[in-house]
């Protein structure tokens, strides 16, 4: 790069030209991370709002209802008089979670309620973190799409890099539209 100079401080300056040496720029490719994380405070708020609504409902008066969040194990313990009331609690929980900004896919509803004495119980694990098999599903989906991006699994996240930001946005659309059965968030977008 040549620059003109009007100062007379040396031979290069006297001739009006000097060469400016710049360090080579590190060209980093645009990237972002795909994760599946749950904010504990938002989860706690959703559970508390659910508890409040259930205790105020007329059809739950004089009923045994217990909704507990085990933050250590990331698990919800639900307890009610009948299977039908457990289903009503989960419906309220899902609707309140959506209003709090939580994806309903964070709750693993695969376990059925089971009777335990005079009450019915259900354990609902909360999916926090991208498991290895889920990360492999995401990487396979991205590779099968044919987009010109690279994806790699790094612990509990998938890093996606590409030459164009448009390609990365296509990956986000692809993952959002795919039915993978897991809640995904897209963070750390770097251009």
The whole model's pTM is what?
Answer: 0.77
pLDDT given for residue 191 in this prediction: 82
Question: Is 84 inside any structural domain?
Answer: yes
Asked if 140 and 179 sit in the same domain, the reply is yes
Domain boundary among 100, 125, 150: 125
Asked if 119 and 137 sit in the same domain, the reply is no
Q: Are 163 and 148 in contact (CB under 8 A)?
A: yes
Asked if 159 and 118 sit in the same domain, the reply is no
**Cα 189 to Cα 165: distance, rounded to the nearest angstrom:** 9
pLDDT given for residue 162 in this prediction: 94
| CATH code, domain with 174 | 3.30.70.860
Asked if 113 and 148 sit in the same domain, the reply is no
pLDDT given for residue 84 in this prediction: 93
Tokens of 100: 């709090």
With a cut of 50, list the residues of the chain below it in pLDDT: 1-6, 8, 13, 18, 22, 25-26
Question: Is 25 inside any structural domain?
Answer: no
Asked if 121 and 44 sit in the same domain, the reply is yes
Asked if 134 and 115 sit in the same domain, the reply is no
Question: Is 20 inside any structural domain?
Answer: no
Tell me which residue range forms the domain holding 163.
Answer: 31-37+129-190
Q: Where are the beta strands (DSSP E) in 49-111?
A: 66-70, 75-80
- For the chain, how far is it from start to end, CA to CA, in angstroms? 26
**Cα 75 to Cα 126: distance, rounded to the nearest angstrom:** 5
pLDDT given for residue 1 in this prediction: 43
pLDDT given for residue 28 in this prediction: 78
Question: Is 184 inside any structural domain?
Answer: yes
């Amino acid at each position: 790069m040549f620059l003109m100079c009007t100062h007379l401080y040396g031979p290069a300056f006297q001739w009006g030209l000097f060469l400016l040496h710049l360090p080579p720029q590190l060209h980093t490719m645009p990237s972002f991370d795909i994760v599946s994380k749950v904010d504990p405070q938002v989860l706690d708020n959703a559970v508390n709002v659910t508890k409040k609504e259930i205790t105020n409902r007329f059809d739950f008066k004089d009923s045994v209802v217990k909704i507990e969040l085990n933050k250590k194990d990331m698990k919800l313990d639900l307890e009610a008089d009948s299977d039908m009331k457990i289903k009503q609690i989960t419906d309220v929980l899902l609707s309140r979670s959506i209003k709090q900004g939580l994806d309903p896919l964070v709750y693993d509803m695969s376990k059925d309620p089971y009777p335990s004495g005079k009450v019915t119980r259900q354990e609902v694990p909360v999916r926090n973190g991208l498991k290895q098999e889920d990360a492999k599903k995401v990487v396979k989906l991205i590779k099968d799409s044919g987009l010109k991006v690279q994806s790699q699994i790094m612990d509990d996240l998938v890093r996606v890099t590409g030459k164009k930001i448009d390609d990365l946005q296509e990956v986000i659309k692809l993952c959002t539209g795919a039915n993978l059965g897991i809640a995904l968030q897209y963070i750390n977008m770097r251009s």
